[in-house]
Amino acid sequence: MSQLDFRIMFQSGGSRIGKLRTAHGEFSTPVFMPVGTQATVKSLLPQDVWDTGSQIILCNAYHLFLRPGPDIVRAAGGLHKFMDWPGSILTDSGGFQIMSLGHFVSISDQEAVFRSHIDGSLVRFSPEDSVQVQAALGADIIMCLDHLTQWPVSYDLAAEAMNRTLLWARRAKQVEIAPHRSLFGIVQGSVYPELRKQCALELAALDFPGYAVGGLSVGESKQKFYDILHYTCEFLPVDKPRYLMGVGHPVDLVEGVMAGIDMFDCVLPTRNARHGRAFTFAGPLNLKNARHATEFSPIEEGCDCRACKSFSRAYIRHLFSAKESLAWTLVSIHNIRFFQRLMDRIRQSVFDGTLKQLRRQMEMLYPI
C-alpha cells in the first residue's frame, strides 16, 4: 500500500489547500512542479531550483528510458542521487511523448512500438514497462502509461484511447512497487464529458493514491478545456491529490485550483526564459528589447529571487545580446520563482476567498 500522505487543510468551494508528503519531504498544495525532463531543469543547478521554493520536480520516463537508461540511473542510486535533487520527484510515463511521435508510433492494447528519436532503434513500451522503468529511476510519484490523443479527435477514437488507458491502468496497478512509491491513474477522454466521467469513475474504483487529468490544453478552446476540467474533477475522489498535466499558463493555474486541482507542471517558465521572456506581477517582459539596455533595476522590484537581488535588466539584456548562457540561467531562476510566488498567492487567495479576483488580475496581465 502506498505511503503517500495527502491531507486537505482548508477548502473553499472546489478549491483546496493541502499538505502532500512523499519519502522525500512534505510540501503545500496546490503546487507547481518545474520540469526537469532529462534529469535536469534546463540551465539550472539543483540548488538553484530548490532556492526558488520548488520542492518537487517532474522528470520524464520516456526520455530517461532512452538515455541514459534506467539501469544506469539505478546503479547511481536513483534519480535523487544521480541529479543531486533533495526533494520529491514525479515521473511522467511518456504518454505525451509517444503521442507526439505521430505516424512513427504504433499503439495496440498490448504496447506502444516506436523508433527512438535518438538512434532510430525499435522500442517496445508496455504499461508494465513504464511502471518498472519509473520505479528503477527511483521516482516518488509514478504515472500510469496512458493513450493520449491529438486534437481534434473523433468520439470513436477518443473512446478507443480512453478504454486503452483504462486497460493499461489496470495492468499497471498489478505491477509491484515499493510502498514509498505511489502510482497515479490518468483520466483521458478528450472533450467528451461521458468519456471523462466513465474514465474517472473506473479509475476511482481502482483506488489509486492519486489521479491526473491528462489530454487537455492540446488545441481545444480555452472554454472547452475549462468546462471539461471542472466536470472531470466532480468524479474524482475528494480525499486524493489531483494533478493537471502539462498546464502552466498563469490563468490556467488559477482556473485549475478553482476546479479542485492540487498539482501542476509545465515547461513555460524555463522555455520562455530561454527566449528572454520574464513573468512579473506587472505583466510579461521581453528582456531582449533595446529599452532594457540602460535599465539598471531588477527584472521585478520586490522579487526575492537570486537574479533580482543581484543583477539588472541591463546586464541580463547584455547577456542575451552576447549570447551568454547565463542569461538563460538568471531568467529561468526568476521565472520559476515567479510561479512559486504565484502559487503562494493562489493559496492565500483560497484562504481569503479572493481567488476570483486573482483570476481576473492574471487574465488582465496574461490574456488567454
Q: Give the pLDDT score at 241.
A: 98
CB atoms within 10 A of CB 34: 25
d(CA 93, CA 53): 25
* β-pair partners for 263: 31, 243
**Domain coordinates of the chain in residue numbers?**
5-266, 268-368
Cβ neighbours of residue 349 closer than 8 Å, sequence gap 6 or more:
355, 357, 358
Would you call 122 helix, strand, or coil by DSSP? strand
Q: Give the pLDDT score at 131.
A: 97
d(CA 74, CA 82): 9
Regions of the chain with pLDDT less than 50:
none
d(CA 335, CA 21): 25
Q: Give the pLDDT score at 98.
A: 81
d(CA 212, CA 348): 24
For 50-94, write each residue's pLDDT tens digit. Answer: 999 999 999 999 999 999 999 999 999 999 999 999 999 999 998
User: Which cell is 169 given?
Assistant: 491502468
263-266/31-34 β-pairing: parallel
d(CA 9, CA 351): 10
Structural domain 5-266, CATH architecture: Alpha-Beta Barrel (3.20)
**Residue 35 · residue 266 · CB < 8 Å:** yes
CA nearest 83: which of 59, 103, 107? 59
Q: Maximum Cα–Cα distance for the chain, whole Å?
A: 61
Q: Give the pLDDT score at 227.
A: 98
DSSP string for 206-254: TT-SEEEE-S-SSSS-HHHHHHHHHHHHTTS-TTS-EEETT---HHHHH
CA nearest 213: which of 250, 156, 163, 263? 263
Cα-Cα-Cα-Cα dihedral sign, residues 245, 250, 252, 254: positive
CA distances from 9 to 20, 210, 270 (A): 10, 17, 31
**Residue 95 · residue 147 · CB < 8 Å:** yes
Mark 264-282 as b/e (b = at least 16 C-beta within 10 Å). bbbbbbbebbbebbbbbbe
Instruction: Kindly tell me the burial class for residue 133, based on how many C-beta atoms sit within 10 Å of its own C-beta (0-12, 13-18, 19 or more).
Output: buried
105-107/112-115 β-pairing: antiparallel
Calculate the CA dihedral of residues 133, 139, 140, 143 and round it to 10 degrees.
-50
Q: Residues with catalytic annotation?
A: 92, 265
Q: How much is the pTM? A: 0.98
Q: Give the pLDDT score at 103.
A: 74
DSSP string for 301-329: TT--SHHHHH--HHHHHHHHHTT-THHHH
Q: Give the pLDDT score at 104.
A: 83
